[in-house]
Each structure stands twice: as C-alpha cells, then as structure tokens.
Amino acid sequence: MLLVLLQMLVPLCGAAPRCDPWIRGQCKAAAAEEKPKCTDILLSYCDDMPYTRTMFPNIVGHSTRRDAETAVEYLLISVVEQLLGGQCNPEIRMLGCSVLAPRCEGSKVLRPCRSACEAAHKRCSHAFEGIQMAWPYFLDCDRFFVSDQEGCYDPLEGLKAEQEDEAAQNLEAPQPQQAAAPIQFTYHSSSQMIDILKKTEDQCSDISRTYSIGRSTEGRELLVIEFSSSPGEHQLLEPEMKLVGNMHGNEPLGGQLLLYLAQYLCAEYLQGNERIQTLINNTRIHILPSMNPDGYEVAVSGDADSNYSDDEGDRYGYGNVGRNNAQNIDLNRNFPDLTTVVYRRRRQKGFRTDHIPIPDNYWFGKVAPETYAVMKWIRSIPFVLSASFHSGDRMVSYPYDLSKHPRGQNMFSPTPDDKVFKLLARTYADSNTATSGECGSPHDGSQKGVINGAQWGSISGGMQDFNYLHSNCFEVTVSLGCDKFPPEEELFLSWQDNQEALIAFIEATHRGIKGFVNDEEGKGIKGARVSVRGIRHDITTAENGDYWRLLTPGIHIVTASAPGYARATKKVHLPTRMQSAGRVDFVLQKAPLDPDIEEEESVLSSSSYDRFDPYNQYNQYTTMADVNRQHEERAEKPWWWSYFASLGGPVPTWLLKRH
C-alpha cells in the first residue's frame, strides 16, 4: 500500500502550483508562442542563392541558423567541390542550400522542385560513387523535394539562365562537337575505374552502356562497358567481341589500357573519327577492364598477403603479390579443363572440338566467383573474338594452352583453327612494335612475338582454351611487356604502343564469313551448325539464325546443317585483301532425320551442354560475395571518413554507401 501511495505522490511533488484565480500573482497569462518568421540568409556558402530570405526550423529540422551552420550537412556542402574534384559545382551546393536554408516568402517555406533534384542526381551520382560516398540523405528527391503541382521553385533557375546565355553565345560562333573528358594516363583504383566507365557511359549515352556481370569474392563489381550503335541489343549480323583485363591483379597494365580504350572510343566517336564510327556502328564491343579487382587492390597497396599470391614461376616468376583472387585462386587456371577432354577423345570416331559440355565433376572443385561470372557471360552472348591482357613478357599466344605431350612438357599443340589463330595473333603483334622484342632469352617456337600457348608454357584450366572449346569465341592472350607493374610515367607510351593494335584487333572481328541459316519459310534456325571442310571445329547459329565464322583468306567449302533438315554446302572464295566478312546465307529444306547428322548433333541437342551449374552454386557464390562485401565495408572506410567522423556528435553513417 505504501508503494502505491508513493507512486501516486511522485507526479504531484514536482508539479507546478495550480492556478487559483482568487490568489493574486498565482495565475499568469500564457506567453504566446512566437511563430517562425522569414529571416535573412546568413549562411556564407548559401549567399548566392536566387533568394535572400529563409526560415528556421529548416526542412531537415535544424531549429536555428547555428544548428544548421554546425551540422555535418552544412559542412558537406561547404567542401563538396573539393571532394568531387570540381564536378557538379555549384549544383550540389545550391541544392543543399535549398534544403538547409529554404526559400521563405510571406512567412511560409517554399520547397524546391523534385525535377531539379532528379536531374542533378542523374548527372552527379556517379561523382559520389567515385569517392565511395552515398548520395546525401538531405538530397533525397522524394523526401525533401516536391512536384511542380505542389507549388515548388527551381533553386538552380539562375544557374540555368547563366548556362543558357553561355550556350547562346557559343552558338554565335561555330564550335566543334563537344569532346569527352581527356584521358589521364595514371593508375586508377577499382572504384575510380568504375567511375570513369560510368562517366564515359554518360558522355556517350547513344553508343555505350555499362552493365555488371557479377561481383568478386570481396564484393567488388565486375563492370563491363559496351559500345554499339544500339547498346544493350544484339543486332542481326553484327558481330560481338570482348576484351578482358586484369585477370591477374599484379598485371594491371591491360586493365588501364582498356580503360583508356573506352575513353578513346567515346572521344573519337564524338569528334567524328570515321574509322571509329564505322567500327562502333558495325560491331558490338564489350570491355571488362578488371576481372580480378580484389587482387589488383592488394597489388596496388603492396600488401604481401599470401592469400593473394603464389609461388608459380613458369611465365610469371616474380612479383606475385595480388596475382590471385581473394581466395588464392589463379583465375587463369580455374576454368573447366576441356582441352584434356579433347585429347582423350581425339582418336574416337566423330570426336568434336566445339561446344564441349562442362564436366559435372568440375563443380565439386573450388570455382571462383569471378570465373563463374565470366563463364555465364561467355554463354549468354554470341562472342566471335576475344583477347585477354597480361604482363611479364612481350608475346601474343593462342590456343591450345595445354600441351598434348603425354608428360605435360611444353610442346606445340595446335587447334584445328591454327591458321586462323596465327592470323589473329599476328594482327595484334604486327600493329604493336612493343611486342616485337621478347623479354630475356628468345622463346622456342616464337615467331616475331607470336607463339602457341602450350609451346610457351603448358597450363590447364586456361580461359582462352575454354572460350574456344565451349563456345563460338576465338580468344588470344596478349602479354604487354616485361614489367608486370610498369612505372606510371610509362603508361602513356604503352598506350601509344598498343592503340593501333587494339583497334586493328577489334576490326579483325569482321574477317571470314557471316550470314543466316534459315528454313524454307525464311525463319532463322537457332543452333544450326556451320562447318568448314578440313577444320574439325564448328560454330553454331545464334538466337535468330545469324552466324559469324572467322577464316583465313582462300577457298573454303562451307556446310550448314541442323536436325530435321538437309545439309546445304557452298564454295566460298575470300580474297587476301578483303576487309569485311563475306555474306554467305543458307536455306535448309526439311528432310527426314539422317542418322549420321542426328549422331553429330547429339552433343548440342542433349541436356549435357545446357547443364550449367547443376548443383546451384550460384547462390553460394552470391552469398559469399555479399558477406565479404559487408565485412569490407565494416573494416575499410573511405579516405574522407575520418574528417567527418571526428567532429563529435552522432557518427554520420549516412555518408557511407550501402549503410
């Protein structure tokens, strides 16, 4: 009972005296609450706004000017120009001011327009991503900005007027077409590379797009930039090719050159370079600058963590820190070993060297997320040609990479398309004087910078063998120089050495023949085989029946076949100086199934080739990447974090991406 009484008395003890109107002075009139009023803008970084009056509390809840002036939000807009390297200035600062010091008219706050915020977000979000900073919460277009119908105002109106005046003045004098940003010949971090790719996409939005094929072990994005007259779409009879860099993290030159190439293609297209315009308008080019961003970050930092290096010394005998991925996997030994399958079956009747299924036992091994992503990429797009870029020597190698020697010794081990591969390798080597001189003593079997991979150094599980044996894609490996990690001052010279070779190699996608394989009604036949007499390696048609077959100049007997159709054969003559693929179409007539054709087609029609990841490893890899990405975010903070976190008060975690 006592406890109950105490509980009842506690509220009364501290209560204010009740008002008794009969006692003088006991009752006082309640002070009228003062309503907020418009006041002058006294925030120095907001004194150039197109209005002069504001009101507190502001839109985000700062009660006074002092509260706003000492807040992290105001600090951010005061230094955002320096953080973003001058980008999006003064748009971001003025947008921030429209929220922290909103416009006031007639004792009423006017909110800024959502359309202005959305336009700035589209143009500037990549700049924030480049420094690993989240888009500021107080610039949330849906939360703090309103639509035109709700009576908003445009805080950038004055800025737009200035830009329009400047544009009008520029129209008076003819100006050349705006060029893309100049190339900076420096090493870029993984996040900077992504930022540059996305900026390039923005600058050349009509001919380029970026897309992700997956994430690395530690969660970094494997970002591809594509150049095409119709980005994101496969155009009939337009060949597709890819370039892959930084497969080994400690060999970064290839990735940087591919980054420069993307910027070069964009800039030259905008400036009217006819050769580049023709190339992009007739080719779909996919560029993956960094296949191993985790290893690259370690190599750049010089952290000798054994998880990212190995002791192998065949081709790359030194400086292996960062070579492997974060799981200590050499990505160029991690693909399915289909070459061994070919060697085992080469004496069997009707053995094949194309579209070989991935053995089920491969999935029981350790498959890197990066390898998994690239394999899915190869299977999803009808690539015709590819190159992977390495360092440590000056050489262009071609399949096979695995020696046919019974004891695995280095030995010349050609594919059925040996002449085609030599032509492709020569295309790059002959256009690049830097690949003409080898590093150290000459390699046995090399011919002016071109060599068979197995003769150079036998390896299994290589990416170029997988491309050739599992898909229609012909891939070569370009080793760019003796120094795996050349000094930064040599990057411009390396670009000059390789610029013409890169363009010439892309143009090589148009060698040989192309066409359709249709039925009698003119419908394309998907998965039809196109074979060349004397070459025991077929390619297959794409979704709509179109195909591309790389060939050397000369006379070829070409046959098209498909289950349920009669074969069709044509004789083709390719002149030596022919610069584009010859058009060779086939029309197949319905026919009873031929047992021989049915047996030959059994590999492609069976479920074994379509079986990719039969044990659903994808979820395992995705989960692994997500966990590692979250760990990385907790362990590592961007370079600017300590400045904002040291101000006292609540830690501004809203500045961190994915918070």
Query: Mean pLDDT lowest for which of 202-216, 428-442, 553-567?
Result: 428-442
634 pLDDT above the threshold of 70: no
88-130 pLDDT tens trace: 888 999 999 999 999 999 889 999 999 999 999 988 888 888 7
pLDDT of residue 165: 53
pLDDT of residue 314: 37
pLDDT of residue 64: 92
pLDDT of residue 318: 39
pLDDT mean over 468-490: 93
632 pLDDT above the threshold of 60: no
pLDDT category at 630 given cuts 50, 70, 90 is low
pLDDT of residue 159: 75
Q: What percent of the chain has pLDDT over 90?
A: 55
SS (H, E, C) 207-268: CEEEEEEEECCCCCEEEEEEECCCCCCCCCCCCEEEEECCCCCCCCHHHHHHHHHHHHHHHH
pLDDT of residue 446: 63
55 pLDDT above the threshold of 70: yes
* DSSP per-residue string spanning 514-577: EEEEE-TTS-B-TT-EEEETTEEEEEE--TTSEEEE---SEEEEEEEE-TTB--EEEEEEE-TT
pLDDT of residue 306: 43
Look at the pTM and tell me if it is higher than 0.75.
Answer: no
Tokens of 459: 């390896």
* DSSP per-residue string spanning 361-415: GGGGS---HHHHHHHHHHHHS-EEEEEEEE-SEEEEEES--S--STT--------
List the domains of the chain with CATH numbers: 241-507 (3.40.630.10), 513-602 (2.60.40.1120), 617-655 (no CATH)
Query: Mean pLDDT lowest for which of 35-49, 275-289, 442-456, 624-638?
Result: 624-638
29 pLDDT above the threshold of 60: no
Rounded Cα gap, residues 100 and 131, in angstroms: 23
pLDDT of residue 223: 95
pLDDT of residue 429: 92
Q: What angle do CA 182, 187, 189 make, to 5 degrees?
A: 105
pLDDT of residue 261: 97
* DSSP per-residue string spanning 310-336: ----SS--S--TT-S-TTS--GGG-S-
Helix, strand, coil shares of the chain as percentages rounded to 5?
A: 40, 15, 45
613-627 pLDDT tens trace: 887 776 666 666 565
Q: In degrees rounded to 5, what are phi and psi of residue 590?
A: -60, 140
pLDDT category at 589 given cuts 50, 70, 90 is very high
Q: Which residues of 351-382 are buried (b: 16+ CB within 10 A; e: fewer)?
A: ebbbbbbbeeeebeeebbbbbbbbbebbeebb
17 pLDDT above the threshold of 70: no
Rounded Cα gap, residues 309 and 343, in angstroms: 31
pLDDT of residue 238: 95
Computed over every residue of the chain, the mean pLDDT equals: 83
pLDDT of residue 27: 47
For tokens 């591309």, name the residue: 548
pLDDT category at 348 given cuts 50, 70, 90 is confident
pLDDT mean over 485-514: 93
Query: Mean pLDDT lowest for which of 172-186, 256-270, 281-295, 367-381?
Result: 172-186
76 pLDDT above the threshold of 60: yes
Rounded Cα gap, residues 461 and 622, in angstroms: 22
525-538 pLDDT tens trace: 999 999 999 999 99
604 pLDDT above the threshold of 50: no
Q: What percent of the chain has pLDDT over 70?
A: 81
pLDDT of residue 21: 43
pLDDT of residue 595: 60
pLDDT of residue 83: 84
State the pairing for strand pair 474-481/383-390: parallel
Q: Which of the two residues, 112 and 601, has the higher pLDDT score?
A: 112
309-339 pLDDT tens trace: 554 433 333 357 889 999 999 999 999 999 9
pLDDT category at 9 given cuts 50, 70, 90 is very low
SS (H, E, C) 134-162: CCCHHHCHHHHCECHHHCCECCCHHHHHH
pLDDT of residue 163: 54
pLDDT category at 164 given cuts 50, 70, 90 is low
pLDDT of residue 222: 94
Closest residue by Cα to residue 214 from 461, 358, 380: 380
6 pLDDT above the threshold of 50: no
Query: Mean pLDDT lowest for which of 93-97, 263-267, 443-447?
Result: 443-447
pLDDT category at 224 given cuts 50, 70, 90 is very high
Decide: 461 and 374 in contact? Cβ < 8 Å. no
pLDDT of residue 10: 34
pLDDT category at 302 given cuts 50, 70, 90 is low
Query: Mean pLDDT lowest for which of 17-26, 250-259, 331-340, 587-596?
Result: 17-26
Would you call 178 helix, strand, or coil by DSSP?
coil
Rounded Cα gap, residues 70 and 500, in angstroms: 55
